Structure 1
């Protein structure tokens, strides 16, 4: 079997100990799938060879690299590799002409360290997924829904975490009026949400929210040679926050479902999405979330998207979703406990029986690099289960170096597009402006009130001063009038006295002069004249 077939992906098979060659038909690639098996049984290699096959067929791929091993897709395998001998032998066993090759890869990283930053906005995440991300109670989820409604009604865009935090503060301040419209909004619920947001922020979740937000078209590119680009999300650090990891991948799946058009049954998928550590998606998940995953899984295939869940045990996947996974690769399961044994029985029951072997026993016995496989065949009918020797990958098995990763990132067709954060006006800035305007208005009103009080006090002081001045003036006028009347009387007395004194003085002087004249010769003559005149008259 060679790799030149364009309508299928060769996954393995062949040899006397195994069944027929196993191919995944591209026209059923969007019917979803399952890769399951215990740790160390070969799930990563299976994921890698399927990603290579889809890429060669021109189908873009998205996958999460939980352990850092899948970065090797960006580098060609080589004859110097430590597994070259084993791979060559395996290729000969299954009839594969092994050709080493590298694949077009785009690295992504929520933290922007090992790939291009990848972001969405709080609004795009939506209240349901955000509540799941924060692990909120029903009452707290109700508050989040109210916050989103207020955001829409008042034109307050929710782009990053600080927007949501600011809006929750506003809701708390206006809780009374909002409660009348939307139901009870307790400040304790808002406080609990704020604490959860702080925890998320400390876990690095703030990196997920913001702009520029991811454009899905950048994940659905093909290379210049027509091969689909393989988008690898660095998830080794992200796995320390499993809730964030699971919610982010579910959001991405939901975005694909909402944005992509219906295309029916294409000849090959538009995109294939591998969900590694899929059990994290369903652990403690509320029924509403599980129902949403089921809905997306059921309907997204009509958008041309295939979803492949990668997990340790098929029992990790809810039964309603498991029943929709048509293409299956089951690596070994270790049935050490009663629960494991029950899970093994349930897993075996989901495969189409093969009369040549017991499926339950085969799942326990297959070694590393082997699997029990079942792929959809003509008319979408599940193929008969086969024990399959998985083909070796063409790319490097294991991680590339930091320098090699950096080169891939810097030469990427989207290099520089998402690296610079855009912080445009949104709820935080708008509410801050409102708060500042309200503060300035309050300060202005306070200043006006103080100015009015000062003016009033000044007027009162002026009136008081004027009254005091008038009182003083009146007093002075009374004193002056009194003094004037007193001085007038004294003046009159003084004038009369002076006049009398003066008359007395003049009289005394004249008398003295007359007396002196009379004593003199002249006086004597006057006296004689006067007396003589008198006597003559007689």
Structure 2
């Protein structure tokens, strides 16, 4: 059943339920993306698992999210359960070998795997706006914040860096608006409130250093198998916007960092996006366009993206058109929207004259799917009703102890588990504020320094500075400063008047003498 250069998905059935032929996904078309859909409990997770196993054995690294917590079993040897053995016999899978796969566990919270982080700067204003559900005005302020950070040499690493920069922008809104455009203090305040909400939802665990290196999710083992990176997403799903934004950021990083490779014999990396509808729920048009662009162009980087969701209507039509490999599990058709989903799914397949897709979709059993993959020169194959093969790894989750053993021998152990702090926008702005405060204090003290009275050695201070009275050195009762100030002013005025008079008289005498000598 196994063939070189192909991933075995399962065996198709004829309308009379007899076995037909094996269904495969060709590795050279693995970067043409794919879609796995079906109602809850129809076998989507098992399909994801067997595809990940196939890519790993072919030497292709895999990244996938474990939404329900049961995908972790891919890191343990499979167990010979009756229903698995029965399926293997039914489809003619002989031998049915069990296997454990090289797995790296990741977790944004650092509880069930290695920490995954990125920086505010790497996230960028567009994805950050999506994460905060920002308005157009707030997104504009965020763009200005990133511009100020770039020009001012202020690294934005974590949430407190962005908070500090926003505080600075709010305090200097008038001056900065003249240079960068209007900065609304109301928008700044709204963004700060959204950042507080993100912090309470645990987003502070995601931002910081050391940031994830793309190369660490593209590892292969010494025996040539691709490492399977499994992201623990069961807790992350409590904040679905953070989950979707993180995975979209990861896609964007792959798109920006990987070189062009054209159409390789097999993908460089395969990316499974479970619960894909979360990516598009309430997403602004500019974000959907960004996803479409990445999906369309990342193929030439050798990356395959596979969306896993319940309903094909969850994926925008522009993105759906980019997904060449389709695996459709059973759908329910109780409501008008579900009936429309069935029709949409059926219409996306290359028809099979032996059966009606729309009728079959609602009658598929668990672990059964309609399969159509790219073949030949890249055209979709005729859709076939297929019994999906059983997995070689464990079906079900690892225990906490088993998971910890995998983490302890991980090739990235120690690289991401500890926080790394360096001077960034928060520290730099704090130092600048402290320096400015010191300079202001020095200037204030210089202005408050009392002047000496040359007449008798007593010090007199100008009004409005210091105390209202000053003590004379002689120990006599201090006089009010106002009277001393007036007396000093009168004396100075008199001396200046005398000096002007003497100078005028001397000047006139000199002029008369010069003119008289000229007359002679």
TM above 0.5: yes
How do 1:461-476 residues align onto structure 2 when only pairs under 5 Å count?
none
Deviation at 1:347? 1.2
Q: What CA RMSD, in Å, does the superposition of the two structures yield over aligned residues?
A: 1.9
Deviation at 1:22? 0.7
For 2:284 and 2:420, how far apart are their aligned partners in 1? 34
How do 1:350-389 residues align onto structure 2 when only pairs under 5 Å count?
350-389=348-387
How do 1:259-408 residues align onto structure 2 when only pairs under 5 Å count?
259-408=257-406
Q: Which residue matches 1:519? A: none
**Secondary structure in structure 2 of the residue aligned to 1:365:** coil
With over 3 angstroms needed to count, the CA separation of the structure-2 counterparts of 1:345 and 1:446, relative to structure 1, is same
Deviation at 1:323? 0.6
Q: Which residue matches 1:483? A: none
CA contact (8 A) 1:15 1:94 kept: no
For 1:109 and 1:464, how far apart are their aligned partners in 2? 73
Q: Which residue matches 1:64? A: 65
CA contact (8 A) 1:331 1:366 kept: yes
CA contact (8 A) 1:112 1:419 kept: yes
CA contact (8 A) 1:37 1:43 kept: yes
Q: Which residue matches 2:35? A: 34
Q: Which residue matches 2:125? A: 127
Q: Which residue matches 1:190? A: 188
Q: Which residue matches 1:90? A: 87
With over 3 angstroms needed to count, the CA separation of the structure-2 counterparts of 1:174 and 1:330, relative to structure 1, is same
With over 3 angstroms needed to count, the CA separation of the structure-2 counterparts of 1:176 and 1:54, relative to structure 1, is same
For 2:477 and 2:46, how far apart are their aligned partners in 1? 103
Q: Which residue matches 2:459? A: 459
Q: Which residue matches 1:46? A: 47
**Secondary structure in structure 2 of the residue aligned to 1:295:** helix
Deviation at 1:458? 5.2
**Secondary structure in structure 2 of the residue aligned to 1:59:** coil
Deviation at 1:343? 1.5
Q: TM-score, normalised by structure 2?
A: 0.87
For 2:453 and 2:9, how far apart are their aligned partners in 1? 91
Q: Which residue matches 2:512? A: none
**Secondary structure in structure 2 of the residue aligned to 1:13:** strand
**Secondary structure in structure 2 of the residue aligned to 1:274:** strand
1:33-77 C-alpha deviation (Å, 9 max, x unpaired): 000000000000000000000000000000000000000000011
**Secondary structure in structure 2 of the residue aligned to 1:149:** helix
For 2:104 and 2:228, how far apart are their aligned partners in 1? 6
Structure 2 gaps, min length 5:
461-469, 479-520
**Secondary structure in structure 2 of the residue aligned to 1:357:** coil
Q: Which residue matches 1:150? A: 148
Deviation at 1:178? 1.6
Q: Which residue matches 1:496? A: none
For 2:8 and 2:30, how far apart are their aligned partners in 1? 13
CA contact (8 A) 1:20 1:386 kept: no
More helix by share: 1
- How many pairs are equivalent? 463
Alignment partner of 1:181 is 2:179: yes
Q: Which residue matches 1:442? A: 440
Deviation at 1:459? 1.7
Deviation at 1:339? 1.0
For 1:259 and 1:195, how far apart are their aligned partners in 2? 33
Q: Which residue matches 2:224? A: 226
Q: Which residue matches 2:467? A: none
1:307-357 C-alpha deviation (Å, 9 max, x unpaired): 000000000000010011000100001011011111111111111000000
Mark the structure with the bigger radius of gyration: 1
How do 1:93-132 residues align onto structure 2 when only pairs under 5 Å count?
93-97=90-94, 98-132=96-130
Deviation at 1:195? 0.6
Deviation at 1:448? 2.5
Q: TM-score, normalised by structure 1?
A: 0.84
1:172-212 C-alpha deviation (Å, 9 max, x unpaired): 11110121222221111111100100110111101111000
Deviation at 1:223? 1.0
1:207-253 C-alpha deviation (Å, 9 max, x unpaired): 11100000110000001111000000000000000000000000000
Structure 1 gaps, min length 5:
470-538
**Secondary structure in structure 1 of the residue aligned to 2:380:** coil
How do 1:165-180 residues align onto structure 2 when only pairs under 5 Å count?
165-180=163-178
CA contact (8 A) 2:451 2:459 kept: no
